Every structure is written in C-alpha cells, then in structure tokens.
A = this chain, B = another copy of it.
C-alpha cells in the first residue's frame, strides 16, 4: 500500500513548499502585496490546494509565522557562564534582525494594527523563539547559581527585543559583534546580576 505511506510525506513536502514560499514572499514584497496567486506559483502548488487548507491570506501568513517558531534554532548548549549565553542569545537576535527581514517584519506589524490575528501570530510565532531562548538563558544561570529570579526572563526579553527594534528596525544600524558585546557587558549583565 505505497499510497498510504507516500501521501503523508507528499503532503508534508507540499505544505513545507507553501510555507516556505510564503516566507520568501513576505520578505520580498511584504504582507500587503503578498497574494495567494504568487504563493501558488512560487510553491508549484495549485490555488485550490492552498485554499483547501487555509481560508485566506491571513490564515496562511499566520500559519507560516507559527511554523517559524517551531523551526527556529535553539540556543547552543556549550556556554560556561551567563555572559557566554547572553552573547549566543544576542547572536540569534541579530540574525532575526537581519536587514533583509526587516521590511517583511514591519509589514506584518502594520497588518497587525488592523488584523489582531496577525498581531497574535507575530507575538506568539515570530517572537516566541526569542522568548524561549531568554527563558533558557535565565534558567541555565539559575542552574549555575549565577541568578535566582526566574522572572528576569521577561526583563531580558524586553531588553533584547527592544535593542533589536530600536537599533535595526528603526535606526537601520547593524547589531555587530562589537555592539553586542557592549550591550551584554554594560546593559544586560548589569541589569540581570544586580540582585544576584
């Protein structure tokens, strides 16, 4: 019964192609200009296939954002102290703020002002990996005895997200290694370890 074993794999591959095409087009043309037509062409899928699974563009984009959360890279586990983990964390954040992704992100933020579902998917999908990584950094530091307060995870998230937004998204400045080191040493470590 080859169909039974092949079909799920084929469906998964087709889904991956559609989600991938959606991400590419978000990056290239933004939410407003993205069309199901263009996604279908790019993914080599029929529009019917897409509409059978997602009701409209918004649903497809939200699914793509949530998918990114699942496939995002995890924080590497080799760090010896809080500082090393913070450097790894800001390295992942810098990749997220890659200048090529900024227009797509901003177009989603603009769409979110009118469509709450997009805002929800943006917060829960696109930003979840960063939130999860912040939590892991704080938990590991607790494990090493460097920190005690698990709630610092939220403070860390606001600071890292804020720095990426203020520097990369609004001011268009790169989040280079030098800048990240300065940020980790003069801001993050000071704020996190003040009560340690």
Contact residues of A with B, CB < 8 Å? 30, 32, 102-103, 106-107, 109-110, 112-114, 119, 122-123, 127, 155, 157-159, 161-167, 169-172, 186-187, 190-191, 194
Nearest CB on B from A171, distance (A):
6
| Further pairs besides A30-B113, A161-B162, A165-B170: 17, Cβ < 8 Å | A106-B106, A106-B110, A106-B113, A107-B113, A110-B110, A123-B171, A155-B187, A157-B166, A158-B163, A161-B166, A162-B162, A162-B164, A162-B167, A165-B165, A186-B191, A187-B191, A190-B194
Q: Which of A32, A157, A158 has the most CB of B within 10 A?
A: A158
Complex CA distance for A86 and B21, rounded to whole angstroms = 46
Nearest CB on B from A184, distance (A):
12
Please tell me which one of the listed residues B102, B165, B172 contacts residue A162 in the complex, with CB atoms under 8 A apart. B165
12 A-B residue pairings within 8 Å (CB atoms): A30-B110, A103-B114, A109-B109, A110-B110, A119-B172, A155-B187, A158-B166, A159-B166, A162-B162, A162-B167, A165-B166, A187-B191
